Chains A and B, each alone.
Chain A
Amino acid sequence: MNLTSLRFVEEATLHKLSHFLPAQNPLKDFVHHNTLHAFQDKDFFTALQESSEIFGYKTFLPLSDFRNKLKNNQINEAILDKIIYQKKGEDNFSSWKENVLHKNYDEAIYPKIGKLRSLWKEKYAINLDKSTHGILFRILCSYLDQGISVWAFPVHQDGFLASIKELDKNGVFSIFSTARAKKLLKEDTSIYKLLQILVGEGLYFENYLFDQQFSHPGWSGMIATLESNPTSLLDARKITLKELVTFELLLEIDALDKKFGENWEPLITKITFEAENLFSQSAYSEYFEVLSIWQEAFEWTFYNQALTGLQHKTSVKASEENTKFQAFFCMDDRECSFRRHIEALEPSVKTFGVAAFFNFEFFYQPVNGKFFTKLCPAPVTPQFLIKELPRKKKSPKDYHYHKKSHSLVFGWLISQTLGYTSAFKLFLNIFKPSMSPATSASFKHLNKKSKLVIENTNPEEKIDGLQVGFSIEEMANRVEGILKTIGLVENFAPIVYVVGHGATSVNNTHFAGYDCGACSGRPSSVNAKVLSFAANHVKVREILAERGIVIPTDTQFLPALHDTTRDEIVFYDEELLSVVNTFSHKENSKTFTNALANNAKERSRRFDTINSNESISKVHEKIKNRSVSLFEPRPELNHATNAMCIVGRRSVSDHVFLDRRSFMNSFDYEVDPKGDYLAGILNAVAPVGGGINLEYYFSRVDNHKLGAGSKLPHNVMGLIGVANGIDGDLRPGLPSQMIEVHDPLRLLIVVEHFPEIVKYAITKVPATYEWFINNWVNLVALHPETKTLYRFVNGEFEIYQPASFNIQTIDNSLEYAITSSENLNITLLK
C-alpha cells in the first residue's frame, strides 16, 4: 500500500473533504446540481460503484425493481438483450442473461466510511455522536441563523472560533465542561495536535476526519459551501470548514475527558486494522455490472422511443409569411407541453427555447431592497446591476410570523387575540385556500408597474463595483448572441414574446428550486423585460442591422412571465405596443390563456387528487388552488420525469408527444455551421440540464442519504436549511415528494448537427467534455439532412439504429395525456 498518500496534510485533507461534501446552497439560493459532482472525473458507472462502496450510498434502483420493470414492459427485453450482447459478446450471453434476470446477489452495502470512528462505541463504550452532535448543530445553527432567533448569537467579527472563544472568555458558563478542552481552545491548537490526542497516529487522521464529517454531511456541506460562497448569507457570517473541524474535535475531547478524565488512550491503541485509502480503486463487482446493464436497458427503452419519434416524424413545412407571433421560452422541461399547446391552437406560431436569463447576466435590486439578487446561472458573476426605479410599494405583513409572538408578555396578549384569528385563518385556508403574505408567488418578483434602469448612462458610476445598466453596445452583443444561438435571424413576426417563468407555492422550503434555474432560482421576469427593452431599442437594432440581423420596425418584443404552478401568464409593458400590435396582442393573449388551461389539464393527470376528466376550467381552478394551499406538499412536480434535452430547431421535435420529459434549447445548425454557438449552448445545457437530471436521479435512488427524505417532518433551521425534528442534521437534496414519480434516467442530449461539428462543440471546453466522455449524460447527434442518428460512445460517434418500436400517431395530445397518470409512450401528433 502506498503510505505516502495517507500522510496527513491538513490543507489537502480539508480541501478533499469540501470536495466530497454535499454542495448545496442555503435554501433561498437553492440550485440543482450533480449530487455526486466530486466523482465527475470518473466514468458514470465507476463513480456509482465507488461512491456506494466508500460512502454507503444506494446509487441504483434495487435489482428487484429493475426485474419488475421488465415484467411490466417498462424495460424492453430486446434492448436488454442487445446491451448484454454488446457488452458480453455471444459466448457469455446466456450466462449473463441468467445473471441479469435471476441470479441472487448480496445487495447489502458495507461502506468504508465510519469504521474508524465506530471504535469509540465498540472499544470505549461511548457514543460520541450522541454527546457532540446536539450541541454542535445547535451552535452552528445559532451562529449562522438568518433571522429566526429573537436573541442572536453574539457573533465576533473574526469568525466562528473567535466567537466561541469570546463566549468562553467573557462569560460565566463555557460550552465546554472540562479544563483541557478550554485550554486547547484558548491556545488555538492545530487540528493535527487535536488529532494526536484523539487518534494518535497520523496515517489515520484523514480517515478519521472523513468519518467525523460524514456522520453529519448536511451541516459540514453547508459550512464548506458557505466558506466558498459567503455572499449567500445576507446577514454575513464568517466560517470555515477548518473551524468546524477544530470545534468538533474539541467537543469530542471534551466529551471523552468528561467520561474518562484526561487519561484515556488515543484510538490508535485499539485499532487492529491497517490504515486504508478510502479512495483506492474499487475491485470489479459482478453485481454492479449487472446493475449497470439494467440501468442502460432502462434508459434506452425510453431513449429508443423518443429517438424513433424524432426520426419518424414527418416534417410539416409551415409558411414563413403568416407567423402570428414568435415566443421565447425557457429551455425548461416544464415549458415543453405549454409550447405544444400553443402550437396546437395556433399552428403558425413559432416557439423557441433558451436558458431564460436570456443572455443578460446581472444583479437586480428592487426598490427598497437592501441587497442584490443574482439573475443569471449560478456560476456566472455578473458585472452589471439593474435597479428598479422608486415607486410606492406595499409589503403585506402577517403577524403570525412575528417574533413578538414568542415573547412572554406579548405572547400572552397575542395568544388571546391572534390566537383566535389563527383558528379562523386555518379554517379558511383549509376550505378556501388563497394567496397570503407567506405565499412565494412568481408574480411578486416584478410588479407590472415597475420601471427599471436598463440602459447605462454613466459608465463611470459604479455601485459596489457594478455598472448600472448595459451600454448600447453591450446590449447589442447580448441580443445578437441570443438570436444567433436560437437561430432567429430573419422572418421576425410582429410580436416576439419573451416568456420567463417562475412558480408559486406556500409552505414550501424548497421554493427556489421551483423557479428558473438559469436565474439562480428566481423567476425570470426581470430578464425577459431587460431583453425586450434591449431588442426594442432603436440604437441596438441599428448595430444589429450592421451585423446582418434586420429586425423590422414593426416588430416588438414583449416580456411576460409564465407561472408554471398556476399556469397563468402576465405580460409586461403592454402599453408600449403599437396600435396594430395591441390589437393582435389581445388576440394572442387568448391563445396563451387557452393553451395554459390545456396545459393545466395535461399536468393534472399526475395528481391523484384531481380528476382530469372534469371540465378544463374546473381542473384549472384546482391546479391554481394547489399553489396556495398550506396542506399541499406538491404544488407542482417541477422537473420530475425529465429525461432528455433536444438542442435543435423546433422542427426536430414538433408534432412529437414528449410527455413533458424534455428540455428544449433552440438552435439552428444553418446559422452556426462551425458549431461555436452550439458549444456555448452545450456548456450551459450539460451542467444545468445534467445537474437537474442527476440531482433527481440521486435523490430518487437514495432518498435517505442523497435526498432530503419526506418533507412532512421538516423543520426550518436558521432559514438556511431543513432538518428532521430539532436536533437532526441538515438534509440536502430533494424531498421525496419531488422525486417520487421520477424515473431515474440519465439525460439524453440530442443535438441536431453533423457529428463532427458536435464533437468539435463538446470538446471545446474540457469541463463540458467531462460530462460526455464520462457518460454523466448521454449524447446523440441527429444528422440534419439524413436524420441518421449517431450515438456518442467512448469518444466517437457510432450510427444508432433504433430497435423496432411501434410508434403510434394520435390526434389530440391532451386527450391522450389524460388517459393515464403514469409515464406515457412517446407518440407522433397529427
Chain B
Amino acid sequence: MTNEFLLVFIIIPIVGFLISFFIPEKKESWLSWTAFTTVFAQLLVLCVFIFYWIFNGSKDLNLFEVSLVKTNDYDFFIDFYFDKVTAVYLFIGALLTSMITTYSRYYLHREKGYKRFFITVLFFFFGYNLAILSGNFETLFIGWEIIGISSFLLIGFYRERYLPVKNAFRVFSIYRIGDVGIILAMWASHHLFHENITFIRLHNYELVNEHLQNHTLIGSFIALCLACAAAVKSAQVPFSSWLPRAMEGPTPSSAIFYGSLSVHLGAFLMLRTMPFWEHQTSMRIAIGVMGLTTSIVTTLIARVQSSVKSQIAYSSISQIGLIFIEIALGFETLALFHIAGNAFLRTYQLLVSPSVVSYLIREQFYNFVPKQIRKSIIPKKLENALYVLSLNEFHLEKIIRIFLWNPLNTIGNKLNFLNLRKLFFLFLSTYLVGSITLYFKNSIPSYVTNYLPEVFATIGLVFVFKAFSERKSPFVAWLLIVFNHFWIVLAILFNEKVSYYEISLYIIGIVIAGTIGYIALLKLKTMEKRILLSQHSGHVYEHPKFAFFFLLAALGVTGFPITSTFIGEDLLFSHIESHQVVLAFLLATSFVVSGIAGVRIYTRLFLGTHIKTYHELPYKSS
C-alpha cells in the first residue's frame, strides 16, 4: 500500500502540468493558482507521507510500476524508489518550488510569456520528481531528459534576445553531453547484471559484489560514466562555466533551478548509485579529487566575480565540490544536510540579488576604507597571474570548446559540399550498398562483418556532426538527423538478431516526427521565403504556435521520451555486446549529438533576434 502511494508524487505534478496546459494565456490567476495548488498539494502530501514513513521505521520503498516493453531478454519498465535521499530531495524540491511559484505569481505579473513560464516550471517539477523518485536508470533518464528540455526553455525564456537563446542552447548541449554518461552506464549495467537493474537491488551487497568481482573493468566503467554525468549536471570542473550562463531567465527561475534544484542533481545521482561504487576505492578517490579541484578552482573564480549572479553561481559550485568530497568520503547524511542548506541559501541569495545595490552601497557609504597597498604574502606576480586566470574562468570555456565542439565542427565541415540533392543521392546510394551487404551478410567473411556495425555507426555519426555544423539549409540538417537513425538501425541489424517489432518501435517515431518536421519546414519556407541556419531568425515572433509544433517534431526526431523511439533506443542498446564499447560509444554520441542538432535547428529558425525589423529589437549584446 505504502509503495503504491509513491505514485501520488508523480500524478500530482503531471495533473497540474496538463491542466495548466489548457488554461488560456490571459487567465493569469488561473495559471498561477494551478501551479500554486499543484506544488502545495505535493508539499503537504509529502510532509504527511514523510512523517508516516519515518514513524513506520523509514524502510526503503520500491514500486514496480509498469512494464512498457517486454521481449525475451529485455524489459523496459518504470520503477519508483523511496529512501532518505529521495525524501530530502523531494522535500527540498517541493518546498522551494512552492515558494517560488507563489513568488512568481506576482513577480511575473503582466510579463509576456506568463503561461509559458508556469507550464515550463510545472514540467520541470514533474521531471524533477520523476528523476528523484526513479527506481531504475530508465525512469531516471526520462526525468533527466525532461529536466534538460525544460531548462532549455527556462533559460531561453526571453527568446527574442540573442544571449538567452545562445546560453540556453549551450546549456542544453552540455546537458546532452552528460547524457552520454547515463546512456553508457545504462547499457553497461544491462550487461553487468543481465537485467534492468533497480536501485533497490543495488543495495544488495552480495549481488553487486558478485557481479563486480568478475567484471571489475565494467564496474569502473559504469561508475566513471555516472560520475561524468553527475559532474556535468552539478557543474563540476571542467564543465562549470555553464552554470553562471544559465542565469538568463527571470530571477526566480534562475534562483530555484540553477541556484538549487538542477545543480544538485549531480550529487543526487552519486548518492543514488552510491551502493554501486562505494566499494571501488579508486572511484571514491576520483570523485573526491574532482570535488576538491572544483572547490578550489571555482572558489577562486567566485572571488573575482563582479556581478551578483555569477558570484552566487560560482560560490554554489564550490560548495557542491565540497559536497562531492563529502559523498566520496561516505558522509551521506552530512552531504544531504549540506545540499539542503546550500540550496536554500543560494535560492534566497539569488532572489534578493537586486537588493544588493541599495544594501552594499549603504554599507560602502558608512564603512568604506580606501584600499591600502599592503604587503602580501604571495608575490605580486603570482597574485596577478591567479587573478587573470580566475577572471578568465580558468579557460574552462575554451577547454570545453576545444575538446567538444571544435572536433564536431571540424568533422562536420568536411561535408560542406552537401546540398539537398547531393545528400539524397549520397544517402540512398550508400545505404543501398549497406543494405545489400546486410542481405549477403553470410557470404561476407566475418572479419569484415565484425567491423561493419562500427563503420555504419560512424557514417551515421558523421551525418549528425554535419547536421550539427550545417550553416545553410535546415532541410539538409533535418534529413541528416533522420538518416542517421537509419544507419543506426543498419548497424544494429548487423550485430545481432533483432525482431522487426523492436526495429519498428525505434524507427516509427523517427519516421513520423521526421515527416512532420520536414513538412513543417516546407511550410515555413513558403511563409518566409528564405530560411537559413546561418543566423538566428526569431520566427517565433510571428509564429509562436507553429514554433511549438516544430519543437515537438524536433524532440520526436531526436528520441525525446514522447515517442516510442525513446524505448526503442534503449532496446537497441541492449543488442550491443558488452565488448563493443566503441559501438556503444558511437551510438550514444550520435543520439546525443542528434538531439543537440535537432534543437539547434529549432533555435536557429525560431529563436533569437527577429530578422524582420519592423518592431522593437534588442541589441545583439543583450
Contact = CB atoms under 8 A, between A and B. Distances in A.
B354 A418 contact: no
B248 A725 contact: yes
Interface in B461-482: none
Contacts of B614: 62, 106-109
B211 to A, nearest CB: 37
A437 B359 contact: yes
Interface stretch (A363-371, A672-680, A786-794): A363-371
Nearest to A704: B618
Interface in B355-397: 355-368, 370-371, 380-385, 387-392
Contacts of A400: 345, 348-349, 352
Given A27-B357, A152-B371, A726 B309 contact: yes
A423 interface: yes
A412 B355 contact: no
Contact of A150 (B302, B342, B383): B302
A423 B349 CA distance: 10
Nearest to A441: B358
Contacts of B352: 400-401, 438, 507, 630
A230 interface: no
A293 interface: no
Q: Is the interface of B mostly helix, strand, loop or mixed?
A: helix
B99 interface: yes
Contacts of B244: 726
Contacts of B104: 631
Contacts of B164: 713, 724-725
A215 interface: yes
Interface string A714-733: 11111100011111110100
A717 B392 CA distance: 17
Interface stretch (B49-57, B173-181, B333-341, B402-410): B333-341
Interface string A501-521: 000001111010000000000
Contacts of B616: 58, 701-705
B613 interface: yes
A416 B339 CA distance: 8
Contact of B357 (A153, A395, A422, A509): A509
A23 B622 CA distance: 18
A540 B296 CA distance: 66
A217 interface: yes
Given A152-B371, A173-B385, A438-B352, A713 B251 contact: yes
A373 B362 CA distance: 12
A638 B63 CA distance: 56
Contacts of B341: 415-417, 419-420
A429 B296 CA distance: 34
Given A405-B349, A705-B619, A713-B158, A507 B355 contact: yes
Interface stretch (B187-195, B315-323, B419-427, B517-525): B315-323
B363 A724 contact: no
B62 interface: no
A508 to B, nearest CB: 6
B566 to A, nearest CB: 32
Interface in A122-168: 129, 133, 135, 138-139, 141-142, 144-155, 166-167
A154 B378 CA distance: 14
Interface string A54-66: 0010100010000
A423 B106 contact: no
Contact of B247 (A369, A701, A715, A718): A715
Given A412-B322, A729-B619, A609 B109 contact: yes
A369 B307 contact: no
A56 B313 CA distance: 35
A712 interface: yes
A368 B369 CA distance: 12
Contact of B356 (A148, A172, A431): A148
A152 B368 CA distance: 14
B352 to A, nearest CB: 6
Given A139-B391, A154-B387, A719 B361 contact: yes
Contact of B315 (A56, A411, A705): A411
A400 B296 CA distance: 22
A28 interface: yes
B251 to A, nearest CB: 6
B308 interface: yes
Contacts of B368: 234-235, 370-371
- Most B CB within 10 A of own CB, among A133, A395, A408, A420: A408
A216 interface: yes
B353 interface: yes
A225 interface: no
Contacts of A417: 341
Contacts of A737: 110
A425 B348 CA distance: 8
Interface string B311-332: 1111100110010000000000
Contacts of A38: none
Interface residues of A, number: 115
Given A630-B352, A724-B163, A712 B391 contact: no
Contact of A148 (B299, B311, B319, B383): B311
A712 B361 contact: no
A703 B367 CA distance: 37
B603 interface: no
A147 B340 contact: no
- Most B CB within 10 A of own CB, among A395, A715, A716: A715
Interface string B132-162: 0000000000000000000000000110010
Nearest to B618: A704
A170 B365 contact: no
Contacts of A235: 364, 368, 370-371
A147 B622 contact: no
A422 B348 contact: yes
B384 A170 contact: yes
A250 to B, nearest CB: 15
A398 interface: yes
Contacts of B343: 419
A434 interface: no
Given A408-B295, A716-B308, A608 B109 contact: yes
Contacts of B108: 712
B303 interface: yes
Given A368-B366, A415-B342, A712 B251 contact: yes
B596 to A, nearest CB: 19
B356 A170 contact: no
Given A109-B613, A419-B341, A715 B353 contact: yes
B224 interface: no
Given A149-B311, A151-B390, A422-B349, A731 B319 contact: no
A511 B358 contact: yes
Nearest to A715: B309
Given A172-B382, A419-B344, A215 B621 contact: yes
Given A149-B311, A170-B381, A234-B364, 15 more contacts: A108-B613, A141-B307, A146-B360, A166-B384, A172-B381, A172-B388, A173-B385, A234-B368, A369-B366, A423-B347, A426-B344, A431-B102, A725-B167, A725-B247, A725-B309
14 contacts: A147-B364, A171-B381, A406-B312, A415-B319, A416-B341, A422-B345, A438-B355, A508-B354, A608-B109, A631-B104, A704-B617, A705-B617, A711-B354, A727-B163
Interface of A: 27-28, 56, 58, 62, 106-110, 129, 133, 135, 138-139, 141-142, 144-155, 166-167, 170-175, 215-218, 234-235, 368-371, 373, 395, 398, 400-401, 405-408, 411-412, 414-420, 422-423, 425-427, 430-431, 437-440, 506-509, 511, 608-609, 629-634, 701-705, 709-719, 723-729, 731, 737, 740
Interface of B: 95-96, 99, 102-111, 157-158, 161, 163-164, 167, 244-245, 247-252, 254, 295-296, 299, 302-315, 318-319, 322, 337-338, 340-349, 351-368, 370-371, 380-385, 387-392, 612-622
Those 3 A-B pairs whose CB atoms lie nearest each other, nearest first: A419-B341, A171-B384, A172-B385
